[in-house]
A and B are shown apart, each in its own frame.
Chain A
Amino acid sequence: MFRKVLIANRGEIAVRVVRALREMEIPSVAVYSDPDRTSLHVRMADEAERLGPGPSAESYLLMDRLIDIARRRGADAIHPGYGFLSENADFAAACEAAGITFIGPSPASIRAMGAKTAARQTAVAAGAPVIPGTDEPVTLETLRAFTAAHGFPVLLKAVAGGGGKGMRRVDREADLEAAFLDASSEAGRAFSSPEVYVERLIERARHIEIQLLGDRHGNMVHLGERECSIQRRHQKVIEECPSPLVAAHPELRHEMGQAAIRAARAAGYYNAGTVEFLVDSDRRFYFLEMNTRLQVEHPVTELVTGLDLVRLQIEIAAGGRLPFTQDDITWRGAAVECRVYAEDPYNDFLPYPGRITRLTRPSGPGIRLDGCVYLGWTVPMEYDPLLAKLAVWADSRDHAVQRMLRALREYDVGGIRTNLAFFRQILEDPEFLAANLHTGFIEEFWKRRPPLEADAGVVAAAALAAALHATRAPSEAGSNGGAPSASAWRDAGRESLLR
């Protein structure tokens, strides 16, 4: 096993990895940028070292510096988390060259699945179904030839893409040229490669992905699916396991699982990885892409399978064999996860970093909270707005949703804005409860969502608290102050009444 592991990441995922390492009694090394000096992953790790200033290019993306720190600190492995360098084949290769184990797949596997067109070719060669599209970047001429053969709507995508950048839906011939130029220039800016390819667009598709785990001895299993159809601008917001569609059609799990394993094997894959599929309304599934790393939403799989994916990643990277076979994997109950973001859903989802002035966390039966937030912490404005992943487990989907609603009601984060109230609205939606999910769900929901109607008692309580808050004594106004004594508060109340 490893002597010490460096975590080349920040935020909640770095905290998640520190926790696994501590349980395994392996010392951890955190790294941080200046605005992250007091972040939770730094406080929790055994050792920590500064990388540089806030911008990622001057901190979390500095490959040589990360490897140098690992060497000097005696760390013999690096866990990349997700994002940053986690899917960078050059970084994985540089770790190997330095004699440090990269906790993830080989550089060759990352390359085979990295560019979206390369991944499509790998999937096609492995016999996995893919959405009709081009395996090569398109020009305007080849794009026109494709739409002539396959019709509209189509989706233009960046070859080097991710996160919805360089993606354009096109519904008619007249818009094709403008969309192509738009997508190319956006891709060029985001990924320094203007190449785009085209796929037929599948309307009202569900996003269902398969979690894979393989060791370096040729063993590979799937850990079932996650449904991540609730997305906003191609970013997942709510994930669940099992997928309600798969729960209703259990044969899908085996079929998609085997297709995912074939595609991953074709890339010589080992460690944890995820194959994403789109599923159409006739339950036909199509290979979308493979993420060659741990996924943000891995907790829902952990809750339902009872496995610890991060521990398994580390054991596999150290040369261990999978401690189970496919037949040993079982799925129990249902798990749902909400991604809690520092953003204001009621103001165009604008990001909202800042200092946390109040914090009440949900707890009790079936709750799992993977976060990096503490009272008094300032959420930095340099990084993505994910604060925490709130996951729940229960014996059925209905009970898990009820449990999530209960947990959301217990959860309060003050000082910044979050999307907690938005989750409550979605989880109470009849279409969500009926599991009529698809990737355009939030867009449709946002138009039909009912007004947030509160009963008269709630409004009266809110009005009363606001009036008392507005008339409290100035000494209580400071956000740093402790709780005012009851008598001081009463005096303040009397004083304000005398004014």
Chain B
Amino acid sequence: MKLLLTIDGRSESIDLISPAPGCRFQLGDAAPREANVKVAEPGVYTILLDGRSYDVFVEDAPSGMVVSVEGHRFEIEARDPRRWSRKAAAAGMGAVQSIVSPMPGKVIRVLAAPGDQVAAGQDIVIVEAMKMQNELKAARAGKVLTVPAREGHTVSAGELLATLE
């Protein structure tokens, strides 16, 4: 099966030709290769490829996966080209700006309500974690549409806090 990958913002395609453990795959236009793949523990893949041994750690993140190999860290999104992509659809909508929490934390202030007209750079929500406060601002001027954020509630990274027109 073919998947479209975005590796740190760069597009790549991968074709999984035969399943693990003797996994044949083709990366982009390169020649097909074979790797021996086993799951050592959930999210940990041991891969033998071209005579080398790689321990690969994969973690689900709000916008895809975070993959670590030998101290290198990649943000990778994978998508089936035959399926509808929420992200692509959202990108097409364009006009709505979403404010999401960049880190897990606690909402300590909500400074805007639906219907408010806000200026570019105005603080909308303040999230705090580990004694560090993060003021989340409007990227551009506009009307506040929704504010799912609630003071005192904890949020995870990537959680939607507010939407603006």
Tell me, in angstroms, the Cα distance from A481 to B43 when the chains sit together: 11
A-B contact pairs, 5 of them (CB 8 A): A348-B102, A357-B59, A381-B106, A421-B68, A471-B16
How does the 8 Å CB contact mask read for A350-381 relative to B, with 1 for contact and 0 for none? Answer: 11111001100000000000000000000001
> A-contacting residues of B (Cβ < 8 Å)?
1, 3, 5, 7, 12, 14, 16, 18-21, 23, 25, 27, 33, 35, 37-45, 47, 49-50, 52, 54, 56-60, 65-74, 76, 78, 80, 102-106, 128-132, 134, 154, 156-157
Which residues in A have their C-beta under 8 angstroms from that of B19?
Answer: 490, 493-494, 496-497
Q: Is A97 an interface residue (CB 8 A)?
A: no
Which residues in B have their C-beta under 8 angstroms from that of A417?
Answer: 66
A497 to chain B, nearest CB (A): 5
Number of interface residues of A (CB under 8 A): 59
Tell me, in angstroms, the Cα distance from A415 to B157 when the chains sit together: 11
Instruction: Answer whether A466 and B5 are a contact pair too, CB < 8 Å, given A409-B70, A421-B73, A460-B49.
Output: yes
Find the A residue at minimum CB distance from B35. A464
A418 to chain B, nearest CB (A): 10
Which of B7, B44, B129 touches A459 (beta carbons < 8 Å)?
B7
Instruction: Answer whether A482 and B42 are a contact pair too, CB < 8 Å, given A381-B105, A412-B57, A463-B14.
Output: yes
Q: Is the CB of B20 within 8 A of A457?
A: no
Q: Is the CB of A467 within 8 A of B59?
A: no
Q: Is the CB of B57 within 8 A of A358?
A: yes
Which of B33, B57, B80, B132 touches A350 (beta carbons < 8 Å)?
B132
Q: Is the CB of B103 within 8 A of A469?
A: no
Q: Is the CB of B71 within 8 A of A489?
A: no
Instruction: Answer whether A414 and B57 are a contact pair too, CB < 8 Å, given A342-B130, A351-B132, A463-B7.
Output: yes
Of residues 427 through 464 on chain A, the ones whose CB sits less than 8 Å from some CB of chain B are 452, 454, 457-464
Q: Is the CB of A351 within 8 A of B103?
A: yes
A464 to chain B, nearest CB (A): 6
Tell me, in angstroms, the Cα distance from A408 to B68 when the chains sit together: 12
Find the A residue at minimum CB distance from B43. A358
A466 to chain B, nearest CB (A): 4
B78 to chain A, nearest CB (A): 4
Which residues in B have their C-beta under 8 angstroms from that of A481?
Answer: 42
Instruction: Answer whether A467 and B42 are a contact pair too, CB < 8 Å, given A457-B50, A493-B20.
Output: no
How does the 8 Å CB contact mask read for A259-286 relative to B, with 1 for contact and 0 for none? Answer: 0000000000000000000000000000
Find the A residue at minimum CB distance from B106. A381
Which residues in A have their C-beta under 8 angstroms from that of B33?
Answer: 460
Q: Across the A-B interface, give the 4 residue pairs with the lowest CB-CB distance, nearest first.
A: A493-B19, A470-B78, A351-B130, A461-B54
B42 to chain A, nearest CB (A): 6
Which residues in A have their C-beta under 8 angstroms from that of B131?
Answer: 383-384
Instruction: Answer whether A457 and B57 are a contact pair too, CB < 8 Å, given A464-B37, A471-B1, A489-B20.
Output: no
Q: Is the CB of B7 within 8 A of A465?
A: no
Which residues in B have their C-beta under 8 angstroms from that of A354?
Answer: 104, 156-157
Tell me, in angstroms, the Cα distance from A486 to B130 when the chains sit together: 40
A475 to chain B, nearest CB (A): 11
Which of B16, B37, B47 touches A497 (beta carbons < 8 Å)?
B16
Q: Is the CB of B69 within 8 A of A490?
A: no
Q: Is the CB of B1 within 8 A of A496?
A: yes
Which residues in A have their C-beta under 8 angstroms from that of B134?
Answer: 350
Q: Is the CB of A490 within 8 A of B50?
A: no
Instruction: Answer whether A470 and B44 are a contact pair too, CB < 8 Å, given A381-B154, A461-B54.
Output: no
